[in-house]
Structures are given as C-alpha cells and as structure tokens.
A and B are shown apart, each in its own frame.
Chain A
C-alpha cells in the first residue's frame, strides 16, 4: 500500500468512530429518531473490505450500515444528513439510519429486515452473471443472528445451485441483538453452516485491518477465477449495545473491556507506527482532521433542510400514478425520478 492510502484508511476508521460517537450523542438529544445501530469496534471490517473491493463489485449489507456507507465513499455530510432525516441524505431523508445506499458507488444499502437482503444479494449476482459482467463479485454482509433465519438458507442454497459469484460475509460480533451466538446457533462457528451447502468457507480475524485486507483480497480473486459462492466468517466485536437503549445485560463489562483493548483503530495505529509508515504526531493530526470532518458533518446536517411536505408522495412509483391520501381518492400523484 502507498503511504497515502494507508493514512487514508486510518483516517476513515477514525471518521467512522467519531461519526458513530457523535450520532449517539445526537440520538440522546432526540435529533435522531427510530433505531440507531453503531459500528463502533467493527471499523476494520468495512474499511478493510471496501478498500480491496473492485469498482464492479456490488456491496450490500444489513442495518448496521453507517460504517459501510462511509467506506463505500458516501460523504460524512450526507450520512449525517440522512441520520437527521434531511433532504441531503443519500436516501433524501426517506430511509434513515438503516437505509443508506448509493448505487453510483455500487453500494446497495442498508436493509432493516433481518436476513431479507440475502436473497437480494443472490439476485444482484444473478444480474451480473446474466448480463455477462464476469469480473463482478457481489459482497453480502450480514450478522451472526441472521444466519438462523430462513432467508439466509434460501439465499445461500440458491447461490450454490446457480453458481453465483457471491462473497457471503458474516460479521460475527458474537451477539444477535442480546443473544450470544452459542445460544442461537446450532453450530459454534458460523462458517460451518456453509458446509451444509457444499460451499467453501473460512474464519478470519476482523479486528486487524491488514488481516482483513489480505484475506478478503485473496478470497475475492478466488471467486473471480473459480466462480461460485464463498462464505467468510469475520470475528469482530461491537463496543456499544445492539442499538441505543440496549441495557447490555447479556454481557459483562469485563468482556467489553477486554475487546476494547483489541480496538481495531489501536491495532492499526500500532502497525503504522511500528512499520514506520507514520508517526504518532501524524496520526494525531489525522485524528483531529477526522474529528473536524464529523463536526462539519454535524453542522451540515443541522443546516440541511427537511424534505418539503409536497414531496411526501414522490418515489412511491416510477410512473405517475394516482395515490390515496387519508382515504380520499386521487388526491395526489406519485412521480418517480
């Protein structure tokens, strides 16, 4: 890696960390509504995988998607605006925390229903195969909890039967909401579930950015060469609860503290310094820059306007279609882009 790219990755991890912390504060102030799922502790995964995916590779994930949005290349300003429900968010304030996407960056969201995006991922890969995009891999992220729902099994099975180029990546942060993996899953290692589908699989460390980059590049190339789906289990940890308001009764503080000592940002920082890629001072400078990016994003989002009431019915359909309003017919027309 070039020095610039190395430092950019560091800064990206810190931006994600600061953005998530700031989002938590804004949530507690009541400025962000609904659910808020923080990526704190998992930064190495989104930054690592996104840094090795090719432009033609499609990315789709579940609802813990702010880190993925930043790593895909969506501006922090826009991410913050979406969190506040403003018009300048990537989903124009219609989706919120769980539905960030930017199809121009080949990032397909951000999905709230557990596991429902998994068959969609198979479809994305099908689309590439059908249209002859032979080099493209669909990277589908999902959590340990979602490997128990039917959609996971239908999606994986279909991907194997149809030989679809999907990299199935389980971000195993050890807990499906409040339930530890071993209380919810029949097998102790998530990757074992791929065995049932005759699918090659691996488990890697998700706290080490360089590890993630190395292993995922390797697997992506394997899929490109040999085709077919592959399942990767990435071991990681979230330092905060499942979402805001989680009292975290299901794990003790000592466990959280232990993982915090393995902080991915700390690990990568140590790597950069030890390998003389950067000095502590340079990295501190990047810390400050990252904080400023988030400060600016907050200001931008606050200043961004709310969607206009007249746009309530936009984008329900693509074709101009009469839609109902409070039970009275034909009051509005929905128009697409």
Chain B
C-alpha cells in the first residue's frame, strides 16, 4: 500500500514549514531512517526521515514550497508497487480532508467562548443619553436615578467635581420640583388630551397709573400713534427644549406635534402670568388695563399680508392643545377661511421669523398691546459651558415694549423669567 508523507510538526508552535530540498528523488529507493527531505522551520533546518522502506514514488510538493503542517508532500510505495492515479488522488484527498476537520475544532471552541462570554457579560446600564451639548458629567448612580424619574441631566446642576451631577443633586432637583408626575405617565405614549375645561379667569382690572407713570407717559408720548417703545434682546439656550421637543413629538400624532413656536407661546404665556403689567394695554392717559386672560397672538404670514391668530388662555392650556389649535387656525388663515374668534382678543403677541433663519430682529407692537416678542432662529453656535468652549443650541428673542406702560427693568425681568421656561422646558409640562 502506498503511504503518504506529510509536512511534519517539528516544534510545539510550528504551523508551517518550507521544503528546502528533496534528498530522495522520484524513483529512489528509501530505507526506514533515510533522510528524504530537508525542512526549514522558523527555528532551524531539519532533516526528515522516512518511517518506511520503499520507493519515493512521487513528490507532491516542489522545492522551496511553503506548506502547512500535515500537508501532503510525497507518496512512498512499497518496492514493486504501482498505484493507480485514483489511488494516489484518494490518498491525497484523505490527507486534505484532515486539516479542515482540525480547523473546525478551534472554530467551535471560539463559538462556545463567544456565546458563554455573552452569557456571562453583566447587563450594561442603559444610559438616559447625554445631551448633545458636550455631554453631562454624572455618576452612574445619578444617571440611573435621572432615568428613573425622566429628568434630563442637563436640567440638573452638578455639585460634584468638575460639575459632576451626583445623587444629592438629583435628590435636590426632585424635592425642588415636587414629584408631581409619577414615572408611569412620562414613560408610555401620551393619552389623548380629550377634555379640557377652562379654569377660573380673573376679571379685568383697571389700575390707576401712578403720578410718576402719568408723567412718564406724557413725556414719552409722541403724535399720532407713535408711542415710546424700547427693545431688549436676550439669548436662550435651547438645547433642552429641542431635545424635549424631539422626544415628545415621537409620541404625538401629527395633528398635535409641537413646533418651537408652541413652546415659546406657552413659555410667554406663563411668564406673562407673572408680569401682568406686560399682559396689558394703555386705556387712557391715566389707566392701564391688565388683562385677565392671557391670549397670545401669533403672527402668521398669509398671502398679501399678515394675520395674528390668537391662542386663548395659553397659560392654562396644555402645550399640545396650543399646538393643535394654532395649527388649525393657521390652516384656516392660509386657506382664507379664518374665523373671527381666531384673530380677536390678543393681549400680547409673538412674531417668529426663525424658520427664515433670521438671527435677530425687533417687531412692532400691535396696539393696544403693551409688548411683542420677536423670536429668531434656533442655531448651533459656539458657547461657553462650565468654563469650556463648546457647541450649543441657541435662540435669540427681542421684546418690544411700550414705555408708557412698563420699563426696561421689568421687561428685562420678564425676559429672564422666560429663560427659566425656555431653558428648563419640563416646566412647561407641569
């Protein structure tokens, strides 16, 4: 029977060898122990001996060939034997078969390793996500607590090293806000906001202008409908608002999806509740009426001009209702089917040119209102956070205010309070 000679393993870490030289040529007689070839490993050149007596029938590898361990290199036949080609092929195939089986073993071992490593892997904590604005430093525990209570980490100020938000900061945040909403409500999809009933609205209040105010007003008044206005501009960090909007919109139907302006409407309405003097109109030289309702007018461009649709009692309505109503009114306005109640009763207005990329502008007050807020585009700009330069989301807004009714300090405070609502938008939800 012909025997196959294979590339021997000559060292515990040998994977392949080079057949440097055939010592026995095809047809040579071979005795057991005779050197038949020289093999070079990366450690040494070694002589390979025959383990049989016979004849070197055929070389299966050429000199200088690099071959893996166990690869067939020669066929030795017993003296006088003449194997057929098929027999030789069968021998070689049989040898060829072995290496792949051997390779399979390590593969399955790897597979087992992988699967068991997966089993053993501890659960990775789900992060509530870091804000796009450069990431929030927080301890794993604080993150876990924030996730449980649906608190955006950006809304929490950190007392730990480098501003790290830690457990006590979350605890402080929670006790300040009052744990009004249970976690369940914020978790799943929002239920349909079907019924809403108006709460108590205070009566209009007529207030005497103070002597000082009367004097200022007389001095400030010009001819015709000119009245003294002043303008204050402030930047708002809108990262939190944009993030919240994205998250909430994922849960809302198309009819109720929130725009940036909806947030502004709600924020302005809540702020106006705290500054009734801006939610006001000059009645006459001596009186200002501070409106009971907070009806926020929103400027809408329509063909041929401008309309102001009014979101009535925006301070009381949930923001999604505001969004839905404004959407409906704007639709009617653009279709030329505006209803009278859509455009009457505004107590303060907002003009938003953000969708046009306007960075900053001042709007003209709609008499007899005391103020109007001009809202500009939300942009990613360089800003300084925690003493470090980073990229953040920002929006400018400019208030135009009637100087007969109010003055800079009050309007500035209003703008600051507005920041509280715009920059911590969760408050708009409460």
Contacts and interface: CB of A to CB of B under 8 A. Distances in A.
B381 to A, nearest CB: 45
A35 interface: yes
B44 interface: yes
Interface in A30-60: 30, 33-36
B45 A245 contact: no
A244 B69 contact: no
Q: What DSSP secondary structure best describes chain A's contact surface?
A: loop
Interface in A316-333: 325-326, 328, 331
Contacts of B14: 245
Nearest to B117: A326
Interface stretch (B4-12, B284-292, B317-325): B4-12
Interface stretch (A21-29, A154-162, A181-189): A21-29
A29 B8 CA distance: 6
Interface string B5-27: 01011111010000000000000
A33 B15 CA distance: 12
Given A245-B41, A247-B44, A28 B120 contact: no
B275 to A, nearest CB: 59
A325 B46 contact: no
A247 B12 contact: no
A132 B8 CA distance: 52
Interface residues of A, number: 18
Given A25-B51, A30-B70, A328-B120, A244 B10 contact: yes
Contacts of A331: 120
Contact of B9 (A30, A247, A249): A30
Contact of B8 (A28, A36, A309, A325): A28
A30 B112 CA distance: 23
B12 A35 contact: yes
B193 to A, nearest CB: 48
B219 interface: no
A30 B16 CA distance: 12
Nearest to B15: A30
A30 B102 contact: yes
Contacts of B43: 245, 247
Interface in A87-134: none
Contacts of A29: 6, 8-9, 70
Interface string B287-302: 0000000000000000
A328 B118 CA distance: 12
A27 B9 contact: yes
A69 to B, nearest CB: 20
A30 B69 CA distance: 8
Contacts of B41: 245
A35 B117 CA distance: 30
A245 B122 contact: no
- 8 smallest A-B Cβ distances: which pairs? A245-B11, A247-B44, A28-B8, A245-B10, A28-B9, A30-B9, A328-B120, A34-B12
30 contacts: A25-B51, A27-B9, A28-B8, A28-B9, A28-B10, A29-B6, A29-B8, A29-B9, A30-B9, A30-B69, A30-B70, A30-B102, A33-B12, A36-B12, A244-B9, A244-B10, A244-B11, A244-B12, A245-B11, A245-B14, A245-B41, A245-B43, A245-B46, A247-B43, A247-B44, A247-B46, A249-B44, A309-B112, A326-B117, A328-B120
Given A34-B12, A245-B11, 15 more contacts: A25-B51, A27-B9, A29-B9, A29-B70, A30-B9, A30-B102, A33-B12, A245-B10, A245-B12, A245-B43, A247-B43, A249-B44, A325-B120, A326-B120, A328-B122
Interface of B: 6, 8-12, 14, 41, 43-46, 51, 69-70, 102, 112, 117, 120, 122
Interface of A: 25, 27-30, 33-36, 244-245, 247, 249, 309, 325-326, 328, 331
